Amino acid sequence: MSEAEPTSDDLTGKRVAFLVAREGIEQAELTDPWDVVTAAGATPTLVSTEVGDVQAFDHLTAADTFEATLAASGASVDDFDALVLPGGVANPDQLRTDADAVGLVGAFFAAGKPVAAICHAPWTLIEAGVTEGRTLTSWPSLRTDIENSGGTWVDEQVAVCTSGPNTLITSRNPDDLEAFGAEIVRTLGRT
């Protein structure tokens, strides 16, 4: 990052949507970025395919439940400054079959707002048709899907792509959460 590029770790007033399915969310990929943006002063909102409890997992073991207070069908990109897509295998697989969730992802790209996706979450990006010409990282098994959608896959802790209408932040897995969270805060601090 150049010294002339402004950044701020104070995200007071920023609003971040976390979009998840009803179950299968990798808990650490939801809670770690949530805690990071909250600590920086932003206000996160849990959005799902329906309002109500969502089930997180620690890999394949059921973990905690969290309350989604907003349905994707009622969410407006105008109410948020950024979007975070946690992973888990089942979570993005379910999201990509929900027209409202896919539409919300597309709306963030159309509005030029930052989007962050980790692990298997790029499946939802692919379904939204927003990966062509973009550089992403992900869980390794998504490489072919990303490349088939016109994206470039890289094996990096965090990939930041600014070659499209917005900043796209992607990471591979829970081991990358520290870098993923730091980049979300850095990017939001510049918006």
Give me the DSSP letters along 82-128.
Answer: EEEE---SHHHHHHTT-HHHHHHHHHHHHTT--EEEETTTHHHHHHT
- Greatest alpha-carbon pair distance for the chain in Å reads 46
* From 30, 119, 158, 185, the catalytic residue: 119
Please say whether the beta carbons of 49 and 23 come within 8 A: no
Please say whether the beta carbons of 156 and 124 come within 8 A: no
Annotated active-site residue 161? The verdict is no
Residue 178: Cβ within 10 Å count: 14
Name the residues annotated as catalytic: 119
